[in-house]
Amino acid sequence: MQSAFEPQETWISEFRQKRRGVFIVVMAVSMAACLAFVAFSVDTGMVILNQTRMQNSVDAAALAAANEISHAVETATANVGAITTYALAQSRLKAQSVAALNGVYIDPNTDVQFGRWQLNQATQTSSITWGATPSNAVKVTARRTNADTTQPDGQVKTLFAGVFGKKAVSITTTGTAYIESRDIGMVLDYSASMNDDSCYDALSTRNRAALDTNMEQIYNQLDAVRDFGSMTFTPRWFQWTTNATSPDDRYATVVFKNSSVDVTTNSTMTGVTLYSGSNSTSPTASGTSGTYTYSSKSIDKVAVTMKGNLAPTTGAATYNTWTANVTFNNSTSNVVSVTANKSMLAIRLTYADNTTQDFTVASLASTSVTGNGKYVKSARVTFASSGSPTATANNPAGTTQPSNFSSTTLTVQMTDANIQSWLALPTYPWGSTGSWSEFFTHCKTDSTINSAGHRYKFGGACLVNYLLRNEYQYNQCNDLWRTSHYPFHSCKQGALLFCDFLEDLGFGDEVGAVSFDVNSRREEILDYDGYSINISANPVCNDFESIRQIVRHRQAAHYSGNTNIGAGIYQGRMMLDASKRPGTRPTLLILTDGAPTAQDSGWTFPSDWNWNALFDYDGDGTANYTSTDSNAKYGLMRAKEAVDAGYTIHTMTVGLGGDPAYMEAIAHLGGGITITVPGDQTVEQMEADILVAFNKIAAFVPPARLVKPQ
């Protein structure tokens, strides 16, 4: 019997059979979609993984390449000519090497790009100009875009997406890094000790030949702009000639040699008196030349007494056939010689004052008589014959006494006027504090002149010594900035080279200069030698040429004498605090001989100062540097303040009289590097060492930084 529900059950059964087939289709479609999603997920993850690995690699390569620019500059050898080109080539190789270490291929010639990173002061935003040189930014690109997936830059093959026709995927990543710019304060030592290596103060430390060569260079540099008459560089003894009154031709020439003199005359000397101030001595003198000494005395005047030097003359006295030839000696010895052809009884001499003197001769035909010292104007001869006839011979030299008949005393004196005339020196060319008279006194009395063997000598070497020891400030001698006086010239050249390096490297660095002696100041103005420079509105800048000219026109002790290194550090920090750019690393570079001799007033050394913690170079817990000198401690305190404010400090010590250990301590405190340039070497060697030193300092930049992705 058929149930009332049987048709319905049959229908349900048939429907169930039909639905089972639909689920199979739906399941097949769903599984295909699931497989597609799985393929997409796996391949996407693989692509992201490769992209991340490539991004990390190019970031690392860009950082390494940027750092390599400065490293290549620092380690470049002397035979590297175009240092910028060399540094970029080394940077490309470094990028390739670092990427390869991470398993990523880059072509150093096409995938490494250089440019210049700059910070816009107004907007405080940065930008990179690609292709600009010199460069301080590097972009490294890794590409997997080659359709040939077997190549190092081949596309990334997919695992599942190939089923849907996507067998490989292209990936490109870039990493960009830049070298952070610095604001740098050059702290320059302008104290008086910065010329010590170019004057006779350096005799005990510097090679004499090198010192003489340097001093001659300075003299020639001054001689090029000033008139020094006939003064030679090599010092000479003062020589002066004094002549008797015309028409007398007697003279005395004296060469003054401190405690001795060389005297030359053209008439026989009968006496010499040597004077040293109010003291005098009279050694025995004879002949027409001689050397006379005044033991332990400096001779400044000589009195020379000489016989008359009127030449003998002969006259004739004639009576009938009798003749007497009379020779007048014409000197203070007053000898008159008579030779006659007849015996004589007497001779009468008549003097220029008309007094007479008679001599009896015993029937001699030839005889000589000596007068009383007066000039003989005539001689009368009485012949031995009846009536005692006479004949008179007149002196051909005249009936009045010539000026050169009698003894004369000539005074030869070493006066300032005579020395100036001897050297043909014009008016003293510099400030009112100095003079030729002071220079002459320096030549006679200065201890270092004496040590050099030039006491009482006058010449260019002594002038250089006088200026560098006594007249070193600009208002005393405004030409010393033109000269190569050391160690100041080394520091000056170093500062100029440093500006050149920073300009050539193009890291975006900016520079300002301060100087110190007993005080300190910013170097912002140059208003002489045809220049009108004023950078006071922006003393820390990239106007390297203005800074070079300002520094070039300064001299040791330009303003004053002593050495206050602490004041220089503080002034440098104050300048940068007022002018430094946001986002840059403030840096101080101290160039000095490193011997502090002054300090500011009103300071207190920190009570918590820990020498062991601050100056333990080798990590053994004990300080490698300490000092009890208050001038040195003041400089260290100012350096510590700058370091605590985020400053890096480098130091360069130049010269023979410095303290390199002190400057090393400041550099250690400042996290910088210290360089010592020896002073006892040639100018060429010194400047070569400075060039190497500034390679290192110019390359001492903060680690490269990645540019954040936009």
CATH number (domain holding residue 646): 3.40.50.410
At 34 the pLDDT is 61
Pairing of strands 408-413, 260-265: unpaired
Bigger pLDDT: 623 vs 23: 623
Give the end of a domain, one of 413, 442, 457. 413
Could you list the residue range(s) of the whole structural domain that residue 632 is in? 183-191+486-703
Assess whether 242 and 328 both reside in one domain.
no
pLDDT over 80 at 381, yes or no? yes
pLDDT over 70 at 629, yes or no? yes
Assess whether 33 and 153 both reside in one domain.
yes
Assess whether 548 and 606 both reside in one domain.
yes
36-40, 174-178, 397-401, 551-555: least confident range: 36-40
Assigned domain for 525 exists: yes
Assigned domain for 403 exists: no
Assigned domain for 304 exists: yes
Bigger pLDDT: 144 vs 619: 619
| 659, two tokens | 């303290």
Assess whether 636 and 494 both reside in one domain.
yes
Assess whether 34 and 135 both reside in one domain.
yes
Over residues 533-547, mean pLDDT: 95
Buried b (16+ CB within 10 A) or exposed e, 376-401: bbbbbbbbbeeeeebbbbbbebeeeb
Give the end of a domain, one of 385, 413, 441. 413
- Residue ranges of the alpha helices (H) in 330-455? 416-423, 436-445, 447-451
Assess whether 158 and 298 both reside in one domain.
no
Assigned domain for 8 exists: no
162-171, 460-469, 527-536: least confident range: 162-171
Assigned domain for 710 exists: no
Assigned domain for 709 exists: no
pLDDT in tens, 50-104: 778 888 888 888 888 888 877 776 666 656 666 677 888 888 999 898 888 888 8
Assess whether 38 and 115 both reside in one domain.
yes
- Round to whole Å and give the CA distance between 528 and 526: 6
Q: Tell me how crowded residue 407 is: count the other CB atoms within 10 A of its CB.
A: 18
Confidence of residue 261 (pLDDT cuts 50, 70, 90): very high
Mean pLDDT of the chain: 87
Among candidate residues 653, 649, 640, the one with its CA nearest the CA of residue 593: 653
Burial class of 562 by CB neighbour count within 10 A (0 to 12, 13 to 18, 19+): middle
pLDDT over 80 at 36, yes or no? no
> For the chain, what percent of residues have pLDDT higher than 90?
58
Assess whether 698 and 561 both reside in one domain.
yes
CATH number (domain holding residue 389): 2.60.40
Quote the number of domains for the chain: 5
At 447 the pLDDT is 97
At 40 the pLDDT is 62
Assigned domain for 612 exists: yes
Question: What residues are paired with 272 via a beta bridge?
Answer: 304
Assess whether 512 and 474 both reside in one domain.
no
Integer angstrom CA distances of residue 262 from 231, 457, 462, 553, 610:
21, 14, 22, 45, 67
Buried b (16+ CB within 10 A) or exposed e, 168-206: bbebebbbbbbbbbbbbbbbbbbbbbbbbbbbbbbeeeb
Assess whether 590 and 537 both reside in one domain.
yes
Assess whether 623 and 682 both reside in one domain.
yes
At 123 the pLDDT is 72
Assigned domain for 11 exists: no
pLDDT in tens, 10-35: 655 665 555 555 555 555 556 655 65
Assess whether 604 and 509 both reside in one domain.
yes
Confidence of residue 121 (pLDDT cuts 50, 70, 90): low
Give the end of a domain, one of 481, 502, 525. 481
At 402 the pLDDT is 87
| 476, two tokens | 């005393």
Buried b (16+ CB within 10 A) or exposed e, 465-491: bbbbbebbbbebbbbbbbbbbbbbbbb
